[in-house]
Chains A and B, each alone.
Chain A
Amino acid sequence: GAVVSQHPSWVICKSGTSVKIECRSLDFQATTMFWYRQFPKQSLMLMATSNEGSKATYEQGVEKDKFLINHASLTLSTLTVTSAHPEDSSFYICSARDTRVYEQYFGPGTRLTVT
């Protein structure tokens, strides 16, 4: 149990386009999901906290208009990178908090390359 999936696992897009990344909790409900970003050879940095049915909370320095987060159901949160630029190329990882046990589980990550 406690599986979190992300789709796609990798994506290449052209500069200026938008990319949507999905994070799903497959066998549990998650009222809260977290989005992290990891640049090469660096640590994971929290971007935002996503709560089902409400607006996401963004960390300082993260542009909310560029990184759109939608948590429309208890099993799905999406991160849309709008007008992507090469500097947005990174590894994006989500985690989902199991409502019942207050434990969080990480997805496998999505590698975004913007050309």
Chain B
Amino acid sequence: AQKVTQAQTEISVVEKEDVTLDCVYETRDTTYYLFWYKQPPSGELVFLIRRNSFDEQNEISGRYSWNFQKSTSSFNFTITASQVVDSAVYFCALRVSGYALNFGKGTSLLVTP
């Protein structure tokens, strides 16, 4: 069975702080994909990143970075120098065969000025 755990329900930080959102996944498949999505109040999902199980390289995109560690089944997301516009709900998701995404419960991030 596939499972994604986002233990942090809500996080509140002050602008310019760094923040890390945790994601732990479970799967017995050797081929899988991991995703992060941002969901602002409008509801529309914003794709942030996709990672396949064979690529453990960390990735950086501007203020965003991702740490993928198969040894701990984690795919954590860090926002550096957070901004108010980063306030949203962030979902980690797992996809194996069949192509439907299995989402975590989400982490609500509030960045205050």
Chain A interface residues toward B at CB < 8 A:
32, 34, 38, 41-46, 49, 91, 93, 95, 97, 102, 104, 106, 108-109, 111
Contact = CB atoms under 8 A, between A and B. Distances in A.
Nearest to A103: B50
A111 B43 contact: yes
Interface residues of B, number: 17
Given A43-B91, A43-B104, A43-B105, A106 B45 contact: yes
B103 interface: yes
14 contacts: A32-B99, A34-B99, A34-B100, A34-B101, A38-B43, A42-B105, A42-B106, A45-B103, A46-B100, A46-B101, A93-B43, A106-B37, A106-B47, A108-B44
B113 interface: no
A18 B101 CA distance: 27
Interface of B: 37, 42-45, 47, 91, 98-106, 108
Q: Is the interface of B mostly helix, strand, loop or mixed?
A: loop
Contacts of B100: 34, 46, 49
A43 B103 contact: yes
Contacts of B99: 32, 34, 97, 102, 104
A43 B102 CA distance: 10
The 8 closest A-B pairs by CB, nearest first: A108-B44, A106-B45, A43-B105, A44-B103, A109-B43, A43-B103, A46-B100, A34-B100
B96 to A, nearest CB: 13
